[in-house]
């Protein structure tokens, strides 16, 4: 990316289109703005923005993220490039798992067990006098000397 690339702040409602290797920003009642893709580091949208898959593909190829803010400036979300985001297959697998109560409960239990294990491991270091090494509930018990 050239040193001249910069963050573009979109503060009014607009549509972003692709024209070859450039972005075209269309706003009501104003002329179109053409921006070479090599001039863009990332985009922050503070207003409503229409965007299509051709633009997303171009931004992804050039590793350009779009960050979306609400009308009040609160973070609303981001469109991240494939280098920085989770793959579609992973997201689909997560959604399928979330929809399966048995699998979700098993994962939740393992998270709680791991958290409890870590708490028991750290507690002796925080001043208690029980110096036994806790065992992780998912491992086989081992015999400790003495």
What is the predicted pLDDT for the residue at 24? 97
Q: What is the pLDDT of residue 134?
A: 54
SS3 94: helix
Mean residue pLDDT of the chain comes to 83
Nearest to 60 by CA among 26, 90, 37, 92: 37
Query: For residue 136, what pLDDT band results from cuts at 50, 70 and 90?
Result: low
Residue 1: per-residue pLDDT: 45
- Please name which of 51, 37, 42 lies closest in space to residue 9, comparing C-alpha atoms: 42
> Which pLDDT value is given to residue 33?
95
pLDDT tens per residue, range 53-93: 999 999 999 999 999 998 888 889 998 887 665 677 787 88
Residue 44 has pLDDT above 50, yes or no: yes
CATH fold of 6-79 reads Ribosomal Protein L15; Chain: K; domain 2 (3.100.10)
Question: What is the rounded average pLDDT of the residues 15-19?
Answer: 96
Separation between Cα atoms, residue 55 and residue 19, nearest integer Å: 9
Phi, psi dihedrals of residue 26, rounded to the nearest 5°: -110, 125
- pLDDT of 46 over the 50 cut: yes
% of residues, the chain, pLDDT over 90:
53
Does the pLDDT at position 119 exceed 70?
A: yes
Domain definitions of the chain by residue range: 6-79, 88-126
pLDDT value of residue 122: 80
Q: What's the first-to-final CA gap in the chain, in angstroms? A: 62
Find where tokens 């779009």 sit.
66
The alpha carbon of residue 125 and the mean position of all alpha carbons in its chain are separated, in whole angstroms, by 34
Does this model's pTM top 0.75? My answer is: no
Which comes out higher in pLDDT, residue 72 or 134? 72
Flag whether pLDDT at 128 surpasses 80. no
């Amino acid at each position: 990316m050239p040193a001249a690339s910069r963050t573009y702040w979109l503060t009014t409602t607009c549509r972003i289109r692709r024209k070859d290797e450039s972005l075209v920003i269309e706003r009501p009642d104003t002329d179109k703005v053409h921006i070479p893709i090599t001039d863009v580091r990332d985009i922050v949208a503070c207003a409503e923005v229409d965007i299509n898959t051709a633009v997303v593909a171009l931004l992804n190829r050039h590793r350009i993220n779009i960050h979306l803010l609400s009308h009040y400036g609160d973070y609303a979300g981001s469109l991240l490039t494939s280098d920085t985001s989770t793959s579609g297959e992973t997201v689909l697998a997560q959604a399928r798992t979330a929809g399966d109560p048995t699998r979700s409960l098993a994962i939740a239990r393992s998270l709680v067990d791991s958290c409890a294990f870590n708490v028991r491991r750290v507690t002796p270091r925080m001043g208690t006098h029980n110096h036994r090494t806790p065992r992780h509930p998912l491992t086989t018990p081992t015999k400790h000397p003495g």
